[in-house]
Amino acid sequence: MKLVALIISALWCSAAVTDRVAPKNPRVGNPNAPQGGTLVIGRTSYPKSLNFPISGDLAAQRVYELVVEKLCSINPQSGEYVPLLAARWDISPDNKVFTFHLNKKAKFSDGTPVTTKDVQAFWHILRNPKNIIGGMRSELSKFTKLEVTDTHTFRVHAQTARFSNLSTLCDYFWVTSHKYYLAPGTDFNKSFSNKIFGSGPYLVEQVKKGKLVTLVRNKNYWGAHLPQNVGRYNFDKLVFRTVADATIRFELFKKGKIDMFAFADAKRWKMDTASEKFQKNWIVARRIDSQYPRKFRGIAINTRVKPFDDVRVRRALAHTYDRSRYIATLYYGTYEPLQSYWPGSIFSNPKNKLVEFNLKKARQLLKEAGYNKVNRAGTLVKNGKPLVVDYLYASKRQERYLTIWKEDLRKVGIDLKLELVTWPTLMKKLHNKEFVLMFIGWGGDPNPDPYSMWHSQFRDQKHSSNLSGFTAQELDDLLVKSGEMFDRQQRQRLFHRMDEILFNNHPFILHWSLSFLQVGYWNKFGLLPQGAPQYGGFSSVWQYAWYDAAKAKALQVARQTGKSLPMIAGLRGPQG
């Protein structure tokens, strides 16, 4: 499930191409980066399970992908799929059969080789209906057959020829040890909540449920020589520390209890970085430009629940959402409002116009939807039922704009009920479609295939990516047709129409986004000259960083003497 900050770059293939291997796999990291040290990263939430196929959330994914590996990975410099556990792959002329050749050097962390038995293990896990991995299962549902040729070669058969077939296999097909995950007496849903095992660059060392996860570097990692991994995974230990409250997390960062911080608060980025530790360059606040696609973020409206199946009610909600005010007053004008479901890409329909804040229009739309009366509390009523809207959220940071929105909704006769829940509860409600309104974020994708997110086939499936439940026959037809187009420019026309349909039907109240990263870190680490690979997100910043003993010593002396450290040449910070 591509939730919150998953960054996907698709490699699309011509229908006539066979024996196609991702052509661009440049070296990304610093080959002279020293290995050692510990990096502590603050996280907003603790996953309900470290077993990412079960939990499906970003907190689990960030740990899981360092321990368990997939067939292919994305080179964050070229943005293309490159070999990982699969040394190469062949694609049939009809683009429906994919033959993967496993790297014979690939080993699990205990030294046992990765073979097709382990590929079969994941296929077995995927196909077992008792395993609660609906999101991943729906993404891979387009593949009908796994055929093993030998210990290192296998084929996967697709139902139809879609341009995204290869990217789906690369994104969702994890290779799980058959000896570990299919051991007698294990339950995939429960047995691996706190212990996971794989062939990746790190091992799980310590778990303190709800607080932290500590990983230790796999010093015998088989894939360290791969071009995308040279100069990567340099820290001996990675500590993911969960601190739900953003203010407390930032204070811990300033005290040195957390080493690297992703700014998600514009005030904190603009104002709080003016303090002494930042001004003396003990802590670095750095803007990192990135070409990775902009995030699609917004409030999902569950159209399965009445009256939100009525587009007039959804449009009215959108007109009450004062994004310009939120961006100007709460985010210091640093964000841009979204007006597309594929923002910042060629698939974004340029004819989409921003939904304006207009309470008069909202009232008129609600009147047209049959809300002509109000009760004593001032809430609109239809057929004796007041218009009450439930909103689930797990981050108190949202309350800054939710409290404003609640007042604006009250002005048009809508009662917004806010319910703060834990992150695991939020994810459970999300997967089961047991919500009315809920904020969600998706990673960008330069070659998206939104079939599983919007097709009516997935509307009522639990754990599916179709969150809002919005359906339209024309949209279904376009989703099928666009997936069968291998020419990116031809798909663009269909995507513009899909974007128009979605935009005009408001299954989400669109939010806002940034086109760059805002990162803070203690000045004892080395980073790539540009901060991150050009298609990298926050995780790629620390994946390619390293502990610099000389800088650490200079920082220690500066803090003892109260002196400033030299500015980093070419660095762009909060003030530009």
- Return d(Cα 20, Cα 32) in angstroms, integer: 32
Q: What is the structure's pLDDT at 291?
A: 77
Domain ranges within the chain, ordered by starting residue? 38-208, 296-513
pLDDT, tens digit, 9 for 90 and up, residues 390-433 = 999 998 889 999 999 999 999 999 999 999 999 889 988 998 99
Sign, CA torsion 355/361/363/369: negative
DSSP characters for 31-57?
A: TT-----EEEEEES---S-S-HHHH-S
| 38-74: burial string, b at 16+ Cβ within 10 Å, e else | ebbbbbbbbbbbbbbbbbbbbbbbbbbbbbbbbbbbb
Q: What is the structure's pLDDT at 6?
A: 31
Domain 296-513 CATH (choose: 3.10.105.10, 3.30.70.20, 3.40.50.1820, 3.40.50.300): 3.10.105.10
DSSP characters for 174-216?
A: B---HHHHT-TT--TTTTTSS----SSSEEEEEEETTTEEEEE
> In angstroms, how far is CA 100 from the centroid of its own chain?
26
The residue written with tokens 């329909």 in the block is: 349
The fold of the 38-208 domain, in CATH, is Dipeptide-binding Protein; domain 1 (3.90.76)
Q: What is the structure's pLDDT at 23?
A: 46
Q: What is the structure's pLDDT at 576?
A: 61
Instruction: Decide: 131 and 125 in contact? Cβ < 8 Å.
Output: yes
The amino acid at 215: L
- Return d(Cα 536, Cα 139) in angstroms, integer: 23
Instruction: Decide: 173 and 158 in contact? Cβ < 8 Å.
Output: no
Pair type for strands 437-442 and 296-301: antiparallel
pLDDT, tens digit, 9 for 90 and up, residues 31-75 = 999 999 999 999 988 988 999 999 888 889 999 999 999 999 989
Q: What is the structure's pLDDT at 3?
A: 38
37: CB partners within 8 A, 6+ apart:
234, 235, 236, 237, 546, 547
The residue written with tokens 């969960």 in the block is: 242
Q: What is the structure's pLDDT at 1?
A: 36
Question: Which tokens hold the place of 146?
Answer: 């796994």
Sign, CA torsion 488/8/152/56: negative
Question: Which tokens hold the place of 234?
Answer: 């340099």
Identify the DSSP state of 261: E
With a pLDDT cut of 90, the percent of the chain lying above it is 76
- Residue 274, classified by CB atoms within 10 Å of its CB into exposed (0-12), middle (13-18) or buried (19+), is exposed
Residues of the chain with pLDDT under 50: 1-23
| 153-171: burial string, b at 16+ Cβ within 10 Å, e else | bbbbebeebbbbbbbbbbb
Q: What is the structure's pLDDT at 361?
A: 98
Start-to-end Cα distance in the chain: 35
CB atoms within 10 A of CB 476: 15
